[in-house]
Structure 1
Amino acid sequence: MSSEEDRLKFLIEDAEKLHGHLGPFLVIGVRMGVIAQKTLKEKMHATVKAPFSTPFSCVIDGVQATTKCTVGNQKLKIENSKREITAYFKAPNPSKTLKITVNQKIVDEILRKFSEGASSEELAWEIVRKSEHELFEIETQ
């Protein structure tokens, strides 16, 4: 395992402790937060837009665990959506922003596999193994 894979595993375990269990949408949030940290390299504010229902809202805890943007410290805003799962990250410098949108095909695949009886843990590790390009559309400004 590379040091980057080790770090991701550690962050996922940390997020699982915060969230209470492991699941694919938690890992999606962790992966979003890792990309934001890697891209912006500084303290940030985040807005997560996702359906306010489980399992989709689990993305929020993944973002909180990796970025330390929380509702409590007022660095995280949450917006409800019907279907879309997108995170916006903004560094203090107004010229640094990042938009990460989850590929809807991935969401549909997760839901299909859930309906076929796949476990949350199994699907979480599938998300770990997917590339950023499979999971997300990433835009920087």
Structure 2
Amino acid sequence: MTVKDTNQIDYFQRLLEESVRMHGHLCPGQVLGVKMSMLGLSEVGIADPKGQDRKSIMVFVEMARCLTDAIQSVTGCSLGRRTMKLMDYGKMAATYMNLKTGKAIRIVAKEESRQKADELFPDIKHKYSAQLEAYKILPDRELFDVMEVIVKLNPEDMPGRSMRRIRCDDCGEYVQDLREIYKEGRVLCRACSDSRYYEYPERDIF
């Protein structure tokens, strides 16, 4: 093992420990998310995501699971900073984008890696424990499919101050970041335009 390999292992272990502190426990998703992020950042040319490159990185995550916490921990991207976008596809995948160069790499966790975990650690009966250990040692090429993609960003999707704040004609609540809907000459929030995820309780009318 070379000095470079040793340094890389130490770096991975440090990032994994930071991720576990944030997430609350160690799980296969944490290992995958850390390794996926190390690879993604390298592929798009981001060396210091929490420092000098913090304004150059955006990540699109495709699942709201443990993997996403690990990605946030490593990259420093978050929903609040508008540098992380949740595309809720239910897939163990993420796209890493360099905002300065426009280069974007989508990485998908291979389903076959689960089988490799059983082969590597047949004596570990608990499948998640086997996966956790296997993901630590499997090379990236056996864990992930990597593809270059094109991501088109609208100005309102970029980090920074809100471009506009406007009042919904129905509920009276304010909408930011050009998320309003225009319907029949009225300005509506998305909830009032028929895509509400919540309902109000029925009220007696006197």
Aligned length: 132
8 Å Cα contact 2:117-2:134 kept in structure 1: no
Aligned ranges for residues 18-29 of structure 1 at < 5 Å?
18-29=22-33
| 1:93 aligned partner | 100
| 1:65 aligned partner | 73
| Distance 1:81-1:7 versus aligned 2 partners, 3 A rule | same
| 1:6 aligned partner | 10
Superposed displacement of residue 122, structure 1 = 5.1
Secondary structure of 2:126's aligned partner: coil
8 Å Cα contact 2:97-2:105 kept in structure 1: yes
Task: Name the amino acid aligned to 1:85.
Answer: M
Q: Structure 2 CA distance, aligned partners of 1:5 and 1:45?
A: 25
Superposed displacement of residue 86, structure 1 = 1.2
Give the unaligned 5+ runs of structure 2: 47-55, 150-206
8 Å Cα contact 1:22-1:120 kept in structure 2: no
Question: 1:35 aligned to 39, 47, 53, which one?
Answer: 39
Q: Structure 2 CA distance, aligned partners of 1:120 and 1:103?
A: 16
TM-score between both structures, scaled by the size of structure 2: 0.57
RMSD over aligned Cα atoms: 2.4
| Distance 1:9-1:23 versus aligned 2 partners, 3 A rule | same
| Distance 1:79-1:109 versus aligned 2 partners, 3 A rule | farther
| Distance 1:103-1:119 versus aligned 2 partners, 3 A rule | closer
Q: Structure 1 CA distance, aligned partners of 2:14 and 2:139?
A: 18
User: Percent of aligned pairs with the same residue?
Assistant: 20
Greater relative contact order (CA < 8 Å, ≥ 6 in sequence): 1
Superposed displacement of residue 85, structure 1 = 1.5
1:106 paired with 2:113, answer yes
Superposed displacement of residue 140, structure 1 = 2.4
Q: Structure 1 CA distance, aligned partners of 2:102 and 2:84?
A: 19
Is the radius of gyration larger for structure 1 or structure 2?
A: 2
The structure that is helix-richer by fraction is 1
Q: Structure 1 CA distance, aligned partners of 2:116 and 2:148?
A: 26
Deviations 1:72-120 (A, max 9, x none): 21111112224x3210111113531111011122256779x9xx85275
Superposed displacement of residue 25, structure 1 = 0.8
Superposed displacement of residue 59, structure 1 = 0.4
